[in-house]
Amino acid sequence: MTRGRDRALPEGDEKARIVRRLFDTISPRYDLVNRVMTLGMDVGWRRRTVRELALPAGSRVFDLACGTGDLCRELAVVGHRPVGFDFSHGMLLAAKTDGSLVEADILRLPVRDASADGATCGFALRNVVSLQGLFAELARVLRPGGRIALLETAEPEHRLMRLGHAVYFRKVVPAIGGLLSNREAYSYLPRSTAYLPTPGELLSMLRGTGFPDARRLALSKGITQLLVATRA
């Protein structure tokens, strides 16, 4: 069953406009806030994401919602050829990567069918207008045998861990964001987890759109999840 949706959260085109504006706003200090609010753990999560692709060096990998290029840089370190896509102009201006960058909606990528060996996405599943549309687009642009690794927030299964995580994510993160960047954005981002389906639903959606071996890895005691799969 899909989690309860916050009625105040935007949908459709309004959601896209708000997300773009918020990320344009926070782009100058985005990396700093990420490091502080995750205690630096986000670096390890991204490296794990790249490892789980399990692709040979030289692979062409699309990084969707690439932001400031963190995953693009990690992909380049292991010898891949990253191409970053994001619809936030501010994020692309703040990006630090030697990889190619394209300003585009990741639901409508300006590339040919089967043109990538792999794809990554870091903490953006809850920000797209249509998850089903995103997974279908991934299936379109990946060649058969191509790999995906999608990183996203999650809730720990252990009750006490879940309670502590909820307090940190919904109270501490907005305070850190307000101090270092923009409180409005970092109040919205924790609330946006309500857009995420349950882990079982996410896997079912992926399996139904061309990724039959989709599986989920819980990272850092379950506060983050990594979805990995192979294009059939």
Give pLDDT tens digits for 186-220.
Answer: 999 888 999 999 999 999 999 999 999 999 999 99
With 80 as the cut, is the pLDDT of residue 11 above it? yes
Does 52 or 190 have the greater pLDDT score? 52
- Given this model, what pLDDT does residue 62 score? 98
Q: Where are the beta strands (DSSP E) in the chain?
A: 60-64, 81-86, 100-103, 116-122, 142-153, 215-219, 224-230
pLDDT, position 223: 93
In a domain, 4, yes or no: no
Instruction: Let me know if residue 7 belongs to a domain.
Output: no
**CA dihedral of 229, 87, 33, 37, whole degrees rounded to 10:** -30
Q: 100 by DSSP, 3-state: which? A: strand
Number of domains in the chain: 1
**Res 1 pLDDT > 50:** no
Does some domain include residue 197?
Answer: yes
- Is 99 inside any structural domain? yes
Structure tokens at 199: 């882990």
Residue 41 in domain: yes
Mean predicted confidence (pLDDT) in 104-115: 98
Q: What is the mean pLDDT of residues 25-42?
A: 93
- Of 211, 212, 209, 214, residue with least CA distance to 227: 214
Question: Residue 158: is its pLDDT beyond 90?
Answer: no
Domain-located, residue 3: no
Contacts of 183 (CB under 8 A, 6+ apart): 174, 175, 177
Q: Which residue in the block uniquely carries the two structure tokens 């344009």?
A: 24
**The pLDDT of residue 6:** 55
Over pLDDT 90: what percentage of the chain? 81
Of the chain, the percentage scoring pLDDT greater than 70 comes to 97
* Token pair 């504006």: residue: 21
CA torsion through residues 160, 165, 170, 174, sign: positive
Residue 54 domain-assigned?
Answer: yes
Q: For 153-175, what is the mean pLDDT?
A: 87
Mean pLDDT of the chain: 93
- Residue 2 — pLDDT band, cuts 50, 70, 90? very low
* CATH number of the domain to which 172 belongs: 3.40.50.150
The 10s digit of each residue's pLDDT in 59-80 is 999 999 999 999 999 999 999 9
How far is 178 from 158, CA to CA, in rounded Å? 29
CA 103 to chain centre: 16
Does residue 2 sit within a domain? no
CB 72 within 8 A of CB 64: no
pLDDT of amino acid 7: 54
Range of the domain at 162: 12-230
pLDDT of residue 170: 85
